[in-house]
Chain A
């Protein structure tokens, strides 16, 4: 038992550069804060790679997943992240119908806090919903995706995954292709990538590009109010020299909404294919936040090809979310300092 403890991290990691009570988006994260999360995620990957991935760091700590929208990977990822760290994890599905019937979001968040939630992980179809919850409860709020606004944990896992392949993202050309207008992943990626010094490009048809992204479309005083990005409608031009290409999911309702003539034409013009990736940097990485439509926004062969790190993104998601829960717990009201020591059960092996 003693030997095992020496092998494990000796003490709780230092988290000096961490000021956040909530994780709502990356727009208020400095590069140092992002690096704090990513460094800690490395430690969490070590925990996940153990035979029995369990540590008691968050024992007695309660994480509640409040999902107003369907989710498979994000929800499972948070559940596992909490459980690996020994937290009590409760997942609730709240349908939009039940919201409209009566209990307001504020009431729900306050009730969960009263029951004992230390962290509320929230997904909601309305942009800004986690900000409302954060204003009205003193539980820590983690935004697991709000409308078309933000998905900061996805962006952090994207950054983490890229960092495992590149020493630094400084000056790396990162291209997001697809439905930028409706993508919360894209919005958070933009902030995170900009903070890490990447050269960010967004590419899609004009109907799927939000307004005001180009700095020239904003008044001078608001130049820094959105991350600096290059906006392209020509995928070949966008991908040229790219170190990372992120394909975004295209929802079929964009065609019904009159934003696209057909999925077929979208695929012809904007699908990430091997031929197009030939123009990217030779060591490029291909990513996708999932769930992907192979044959629409991404070709099946490249999705599973040598440059694809899509599956790795999913695994890293658990580590990044563990890191965030750990950091938020350090800010929490529980007096006991969390540790990353192995469990007695594992130590006994």
Chain B
């Protein structure tokens, strides 16, 4: 019997409405007890003094790209899940745009096998909506469900064909899997490289208009309602999308949504001007190139408001690691994506420090919010995931919300150093990450 006792922390467990000083006791990889001085009664335990720190359930990320198999020069399951642990994430949902894509049972099983060997945190695979992600015919959702996928997505690309999307939604109801869509109409974003607006005009780049996202969000909500299916809108980025999702939710549609840390903190100005905002001097910052693109401040504000009131259920990183050679090239040829796992908490904390979101609300959107959105706790082994309820997986993060630090991509565990916020000072840090009762990551100085 192995026991870990975390003493004297401010325990924030949004699902159970707990926010107060308590001890957390983990026995044999599961949460045993949470309460004031509960740790004192435990004999023969490993102990962590968490005085002055916040303890919360381990973070759950609905959207990461682990790149394996097929793109091991960008990331591997081992490096990506270590990055997750550093970022406080103990469960990650792996997108299927690998090579081969996860559109068959053997492909999904190979990822699960590799995860068993090398993953530091829990990996839940997502299967393709269409075969080969080609957008032509349905992938075998039943076979994928049996293999263990937790959702379906062609992420990276949208299912452009409305009829095929309708059928995917209808078919998904048999297995009750969320259909997660990367909402950008392929025809409207063709050859676009950043948000369509004045910055793209200044840079002479073709844009990806906000309406490319909103038309697909509107279409897919209508199709989901027609099919009685669960639509999950990935990485919401525009005020118009937020309004559509808000209205759909109000009338009872099964629509959930996620937003990334970068879409609630950065705008399209990042691409040309970086943090300096010197409008006399442009650059082409490929590390700020991401799909959907960084938008305008009004979009950022709308996403924050929706995150605050729960219309957006989850913060998901869309962790998209790339090699330097994918980014240090012409902007139009550079790969889109941001390596986000290790900066997610610190970046999202800027909202808390600005008073736009409470710390418990932020933690909810990183824990119980995503679990409920996809009902990840349906699997018996995952009962209680995203909470500190007795019997839940012993996944815990220790946070210092006020610790300042500087983003240094060279120190990332992820192989992807592609971040637009290199060198930026953030306030709020993951001090330690514990998964199934095992300490995966701990900053130096933590009293263990």
Contacts and interface: CB of A to CB of B under 8 A. Distances in A.
B201 A128 contact: no
B202 A226 contact: yes
B201 A127 contact: no
Contact of A106 (B200, B201, B328): B328
A321 interface: no
A28 interface: yes
B197 A211 contact: yes
Given A147-B204, A224-B279, A132 B197 contact: no
Contact of A128 (B269, B281, B328, B331): B331
B163 interface: no
A27 interface: yes
B279 A187 contact: no
B207 interface: yes
A224 B279 CA distance: 7
B279 A128 contact: no
A210 interface: yes
Interface in B296-315: 296-297
B204 A148 contact: yes
Contacts of A104: 325, 328-329
A218 interface: yes
A248 interface: no
A150 B282 CA distance: 12
A8 interface: no
A213 to B, nearest CB: 6
B22 to A, nearest CB: 45
A187 B284 CA distance: 16
A219 B269 CA distance: 11
B283 A211 contact: no
B330 A225 contact: no
A212 B331 contact: no
Contacts of B199: 212, 225
B198 A124 contact: no
Given A219-B297, A222-B279, A127 B202 contact: no
Contact of B198 (A105, A126, A132, A222): A222
A146 interface: yes
Interface string B369-406: 00000000000000000000000000000000000000
A131 interface: yes
Nearest to B296: A219
B198 A226 contact: yes
Given A106-B328, A127-B205, A211 B284 contact: no
B297 to A, nearest CB: 7
B330 A128 contact: yes
B203 A149 contact: yes
Given A27-B280, A222-B279, A217 B198 contact: yes
B332 interface: yes
Interface string B215-238: 000000000000000000000000
Interface string A97-115: 0000000111000000000
A54 interface: no
B280 A218 contact: no
A118 B330 CA distance: 22
A129 interface: yes
A33 to B, nearest CB: 12
B203 A129 contact: no
Contacts of B204: 127-128, 146-150, 184, 187
Contacts of A149: 203-205
B196 interface: yes
Nearest to B330: A126
Contacts of B196: 211
A141 to B, nearest CB: 14
A70 B328 CA distance: 24
A109 to B, nearest CB: 12
Nearest to A128: B284
B198 A211 contact: yes
B333 interface: yes
Contacts of A211: 196-198, 200-201, 207
A147 B191 CA distance: 13
Contacts of B198: 211-213, 217-218, 222, 225-226
A104 B200 CA distance: 24
B329 A212 contact: no
A127 B331 contact: yes
Contacts of B200: 210-212
A19 B72 CA distance: 45
Contacts of A147: 204-205, 332
A247 to B, nearest CB: 20
Given A148-B204, A222-B279, A127 B332 contact: yes
Nearest to A224: B279
Interface in A38-63: none
A225 B279 contact: yes
B284 A127 contact: yes
B279 A210 contact: no
Contact of A105 (B269, B296, B297, B330): B330
Interface string B276-289: 00011111100000
Contacts of A148: 204-206
Nearest to A225: B279
B325 to A, nearest CB: 8
Interface in A208-246: 210-213, 217-219, 222, 224-226
B350 to A, nearest CB: 19
A224 B273 CA distance: 13
A248 to B, nearest CB: 14
Nearest to A104: B329
Interface in B229-282: 269, 279-282
Interface in A175-221: 184, 187, 210-213, 217-219
B149 to A, nearest CB: 35
27 contacts: A28-B281, A104-B325, A105-B329, A106-B328, A124-B330, A126-B330, A126-B331, A127-B331, A128-B284, A128-B330, A128-B331, A131-B282, A131-B283, A132-B284, A132-B328, A132-B329, A132-B330, A149-B203, A210-B200, A211-B197, A211-B200, A211-B207, A212-B198, A217-B197, A222-B198, A224-B279, A226-B202
User: 4 closest A-B pairs (Cβ-Cβ)?
Assistant: A212-B198, A149-B204, A128-B284, A126-B330
Given A132-B328, A226-B202, 19 more contacts: A27-B280, A104-B329, A105-B329, A105-B330, A126-B330, A126-B332, A127-B332, A128-B205, A128-B284, A132-B284, A148-B205, A149-B204, A212-B201, A212-B202, A213-B198, A222-B198, A222-B279, A225-B198, A226-B198
Interface of B: 196-207, 269, 279-284, 296-297, 325, 328-333
